[in-house]
Amino acid sequence: MSTGIVTLKPLGDRVVLKRLPQEEKTAGGIFLPDTAQEKPMKGEVVAVGPGKTLDSGEKTRMEVEIGQIVLFGKYSGTEVKIDGEDFTILEQREILGVFVN
């Protein structure tokens, strides 16, 4: 789904997402202009950090993998532009769930 290769490796338990486009029309068939649309809350995981390092020196296991589609909070993460594309970087705990096929 993602068009480019991300040149950023996230640290700790951070995840880089590419937001998926939101529906442009309502259930009733009304088309919404860009200014009326909400930020999408679904995204594709394009990069994953190695895991958070605990005080004991152990690393936590990352629960998401590259290519998975996830649901996250509307205002979660930090939006960045990398190589001309928009991405969201957030911590793994900000991901609410993973969509399964």
For 1-17, how does the pLDDT look when each residue is reduced to its tens digit (9 = 90+)? 444 566 889 999 999 99
**Which tokens go with 15?**
């995840």
Residues with Cβ within 8 Å of 57's Cβ and at least 6 positions away in sequence, in order, are: none
DSSP assignment of 21-84: PPPSB-TTSPBPPGGGSPPP-EEEEEEE-S-PBPTTSPBPPP---TT-EEEE-TT-SEEEEETT
**Bridge partner list, 95:** 72
Domain boundaries, given as residue ranges, for the chain: 14-98
Enter the pTM of the model: 0.77
Instruction: Give the model confidence (pLDDT) of 32-88 as tens digits.
Output: 555 545 566 899 999 999 999 999 999 999 999 999 999 998 889 999 998 889 999
| Token pair in block for residue 27 | 């259930």
Our CA dihedral for 43, 75, 82, 101, rounded to 10 degrees, sits at -10
Fold of 14-98: 10 Kd Chaperonin, Protein Cpn10; Chain O (2.30.33)
